[in-house]
Structure 1
Amino acid sequence: MKRFLMAAALAGGVVSSVAQADAALLGRADVQRYIDEQVASGSFNRPELEAVFANVELKPNIIAILDKPATSRPWYQFRGSFYNERLLKNGVAFWQQHAATLQRAEQVYGVPPEMVVAILGIETNYGRNTGSFRLADALTTIAFNYPRRAEYFRGELTEFLKLSKEEGIDPLTLKGSYAGAMGLPQFMPSSFRKWAVDFDGSGHRDIWNNVDDAIGSVAHYFQLQGWRHGDDIVIPAAVQPGVDLSSLVADKFNLHLTVGELKARGVLPQAQVADNVQAVLVPLETAPGVTEYWLGLNNFYVITRYNKSTLYAKVAQELAAELRLRYLNAQAQSAAQPAADSVNPAQ
């Protein structure tokens, strides 16, 4: 890959038409303050940063996307976007192609293959949709032109520039989502620096083009968030009539209550689970006006650390379960075929 310092060479050479269009960026006081801070921290020198910002193209369409009112879909609409034949077929094929790496990730990190495969399917359909925005453009646009999220995205911009330097990558070449998510697992830059791993021993962490690194990085993330190998993710539940669920549902991202405490408040598990196990109530609208209930356990909570959505966590659990079933069935059929061929040899 291109080296980070290649960007610095642009500062003294021919500047692209894109850079000319956004040359005013370097003249902005807030951008200069940011550069001053980074130089003072010792992370970068001024020519490096000025070369990058001289070639950044601000993207007003990203601001338009961020300004769109947030919409939420009920479970019965959300589920089909990810639990579908396309992702299931692609997921089984991905698992078959990378079975050895997935098995090694389970051995090293204790995270089962089906969960890693489900996450990579939901995030990017196994690398088919990793994003088309230059990350330097996207992160700079939000960091300096979107005050509501400026502090967070300036932090992510810094993390992105650091990871580019650490991995020896020209930051102007990397692409991702409009919000700065990167590679097959769609890590934000800060997540990359904390949890991405060089799983194939190449000397670099590459979640854009290296499937081994992407698999290992997702498994590593789940391990460090507290995944418990072999534990359930969810169990079905029933709610007694008249129970006020508002406080339970509002606290959906925290394991503050035990199963025993939930029982005392009228939430009854429909599978065997110890009273001292921590759990969270998960209501799912399966049809207009129809709700089913689940108890999310520790591993469910871990999935919500990856994406803070109970719907995301539940569809990841369901997709993982079906992927495992289909993969094992395919393996059994493949193993049975040679035996069948030997019994009925071609005439």
Structure 2
Amino acid sequence: MRRSLRFAVACLFTCLVVPTTPAEEVVVPALLDRPEVMSFIERMVEQHQFDRQGLYDLFNEAVFKPTILNVLDKPATSRPWYQFQTNFLTDAKVRDGVAYWRQHQVWLDKARQMFGVPPEIIVAILGVETNFGRNAGSFRAWDALTTIAFDYPRRAEYFQQELEQFLLLAREENKPPLTLKSSYAGALGSPQFMPSSYRKYAIDLDGDGRRDIWGHPADAVGSVAAYFNQYGWKADGMVAVRAQVSGNQVEQLLADKFNLHYTIDELATMGIKPVNALPGNEPAVVFMLETDPGVTEYWLGLTNFYAITRYNRSVNYAMAVNLLAQRLRIAYDDPIEAAPPRSSRPPARRGRAAS
């Protein structure tokens, strides 16, 4: 499950460069002649009682998307922070996020009451993912998933699993598979859940009997909060703090920046200390941001940072969400104070930093 969201979200940031013109669509006439496809179909029939002819019909409708394969190894999250953050920490993003927050206040408050995740974090996720639901993907999910599952060997096993989950999801939600839209990596809805994540974590927050993360903002909001709750989100906790570094162990720690193996006290013995006092038993990871060419800052990511990196295993992504959330909170409370930060440092504010 952890792989599912981080792959989908890492791929999401490059989706705008993927051509989708009809001239580049290639129907794969021999898909049903491929042994791996027939094996997949037989498994769906035997294990999940799908109709064999129905699956034949679906695979005959699959449209191969070669341009998807050209960008799978080039996630935009691999860019240095000073380039990456310019796409997300913008005045327009903050304005749109505050408007989304005010429009869906009742659901954001309900999600916080249920799961302890603050509105600014949920709104920031939706802003980074799909510009608050506006850009949730224009590919047929069936085309995207079949293309990667059977023509991208490095991730074939994973995407065949996601294709299986997609078919189960479509059946459970009573949705025709060919009608569902996704990102080019097969991520679904405003939160960009992969099918396995959708089945595990999407919720029906508005109580209408459906888990609709495309057309129902309530369900998108609640599903993001439910996801973070499952990965240990700490209500009222911080995400990250600046760190002071000494000694020669930082490089080793940077290589393990996505796992909470050490506490603040243990990191202090290795020369890594927070600039602000934190409980010594607080788990933390060390990471680095390149704020300008050749200029770096060291940070400590806390439990909530870890939770965000379960959504996407990228420090750039986690910090973009964190800092956008802080700006959203400031603008929501007092729009006059919503000035863009000059670096990765959180902007000045009155009271506690956003969690």
TM-score, L = length of structure 2: 0.85
* The one of 190, 193, 198 aligned to 2:199: 193
Seq. identity, %: 53
Report Cα offsets for 1:257-307 as digits up to 9, x if no partner: 111111111112111111111111121111122211211110010000001
Matches within 5 A, 1:1-347: 21-66=27-72, 72-240=78-246, 242-330=247-335
Instruction: For residue 242 of structure 2, give the secondary structure of its aligned residue in structure 1.
Output: strand
Inter-partner Cα distance in structure 2 for 1:291 and 1:36:
52
Note closer, same or farther for the CA distance 1:70–1:300 as it changes in structure 2 (3 Å cut): closer
Once the 2 structures are TM-superposed, how far is the Cα of residue 20 of structure 1 from its aligned partner? 11
Note closer, same or farther for the CA distance 1:68–1:297 as it changes in structure 2 (3 Å cut): closer
Inter-partner Cα distance in structure 1 for 2:183 and 2:100:
22
Once the 2 structures are TM-superposed, how far is the Cα of residue 51 of structure 1 from its aligned partner? 2.0
Once the 2 structures are TM-superposed, how far is the Cα of residue 94 of structure 1 from its aligned partner? 0.3
Once the 2 structures are TM-superposed, how far is the Cα of residue 22 of structure 1 from its aligned partner? 3.3
Inter-partner Cα distance in structure 2 for 1:130 and 1:74:
25
Note closer, same or farther for the CA distance 1:318–1:44 as it changes in structure 2 (3 Å cut): same
Inter-partner Cα distance in structure 2 for 1:269 and 1:71:
25
| Higher mean displacement: 43-52 or 130-139 | 43-52
Which 5+ residue runs of structure 2 have no aligned equivalent?
1-24, 338-355
Instruction: For residue 77 of structure 1, give the secondary structure of its aligned residue in structure 2.
Output: helix
Inter-partner Cα distance in structure 1 for 2:77 and 2:227:
28
Once the 2 structures are TM-superposed, how far is the Cα of residue 147 of structure 1 from its aligned partner? 1.1
Report Cα offsets for 1:36-75 as digits up to 9, x if no partner: 1111103412122122112111111112222559882211
Inter-partner Cα distance in structure 2 for 1:279 and 1:68:
28
Note closer, same or farther for the CA distance 1:169–1:29 as it changes in structure 2 (3 Å cut): same
Amino acid at match of 1:296: G
Report Cα offsets for 1:117-155 as digits up to 9, x if no partner: 000000000111111111000100111111111100000
Inter-partner Cα distance in structure 2 for 1:134 and 1:201:
27
Inter-partner Cα distance in structure 2 for 1:202 and 1:97:
19
Amino acid at match of 2:100: F
The answer as to whether partners of 2:26 and 2:63 remain within 8 angstroms in 1 is no
The answer as to whether partners of 1:43 and 1:162 remain within 8 angstroms in 2 is no
**Rg bigger for which structure?**
1
Q: How many residues align?
A: 314
Inter-partner Cα distance in structure 2 for 1:292 and 1:98:
36
- Greater relative contact order: 1 or 2 (C-alpha under 8 angstroms, separation 6 or more)? 2
Inter-partner Cα distance in structure 2 for 1:129 and 1:227:
26
Inter-partner Cα distance in structure 1 for 2:304 and 2:50:
39
Amino acid at match of 1:80: T
Q: Considering only aligned residues, what root-mean-square deviation do their CA atoms show, in Å?
A: 2.0
The answer as to whether partners of 2:284 and 2:303 remain within 8 angstroms in 1 is yes
The answer as to whether partners of 1:197 and 1:216 remain within 8 angstroms in 2 is yes
Inter-partner Cα distance in structure 1 for 2:146 and 2:237:
41
Which 5+ residue runs of structure 1 have no aligned equivalent?
1-18, 333-347
TM-score, L = length of structure 1: 0.86
